[in-house]
């Protein structure tokens, strides 16, 4: 069953661990539908989180993070990779969940490449039929740990355990 809007408008610290075990779905231009189980997420919470893109406020790049939860925030890194985030929470409270890995594709750039996710899907409605998340009833056991690759953040946010992985 496709996740509902009320799921996405919850706080990122509820949504990020709750996405573990859900199915990330993508309808390709050729109409093929891909579905992969989410096995790793990270939460980024607002302007106070020094690891969050919204830390320095609303910009052209981060504007999507200020939308009401339930859309995709996709950005380009290292001049070669797109990364997928799920916007959560209420409008003007920038929060997002980075989808770090799905079964079969360990790493956020590998999954976006495999699922043909690029900047054209930035802002995409996750309730529509191009990119969405389903709950098939799978119950995941979780493990929390520190986020990866955010050495620039202050100590509090660099060391907080806002990364979740599947442990079943």
pLDDT at 77 over 90: no
Grade residue 112 by pLDDT with cuts at 50, 70 and 90.
very high
107-111: long-range contacts (C-beta < 8 A, 24 or more apart)?
108/81, 108/83, 108/84, 109/77, 109/80, 109/81, 109/82, 109/83, 111/24, 111/36, 111/84
Tell me, what's the pLDDT at 54?
94
5-166 in CATH: which number?
Answer: 3.10.300.10
- Average pLDDT in the chain: 96
Grade residue 78 by pLDDT with cuts at 50, 70 and 90.
confident
Q: Enter the pTM of the model.
A: 0.95
Tell me, what's the pLDDT at 60?
87
2 forms beta bridges with 134
Return the domain boundaries, the chain: 5-166
**Cα–Cα distance between 94 and 111 in angstroms, integer?**
24
Name residues whose C-beta falls within 8 Å of residue 83's C-beta, 6 or more positions apart in sequence: 74, 75, 77, 98, 108, 109, 112
């Amino acid at each position: 069953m496709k996740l509902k809007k009320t799921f996405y408008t919850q706080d990122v610290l509820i949504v990020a661990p709750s996405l573990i075990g859900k199915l990330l779905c993508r309808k390709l231009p050729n109409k093929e539908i891909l579905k992969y189980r989410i096995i790793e997420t990270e939460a980024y919470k607002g302007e106070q989180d020094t690891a969050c893109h919204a830390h320095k406020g609303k910009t052209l790049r981060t504007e999507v993070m200020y939308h009401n939860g339930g859309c995709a925030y996709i950005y380009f890194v290292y001049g070669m990779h797109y990364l997928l985030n799920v916007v959560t929470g209420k409008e003007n409270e920038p929060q997002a969940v980075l989808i770090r890995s799905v079964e079969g594709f360990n790493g956020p750039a590998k999954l976006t490449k495999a699922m043909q996710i690029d900047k054209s899907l930035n802002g995409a409605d996750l309730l529509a039929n191009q990119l969405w998340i389903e709950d098939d009833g799978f119950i995941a056991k979780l493990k929390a740990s520190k986020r990866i690759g955010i050495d620039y953040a202050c100590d509090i946010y660099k060391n907080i355990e806002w990364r979740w992985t599947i442990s079943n």
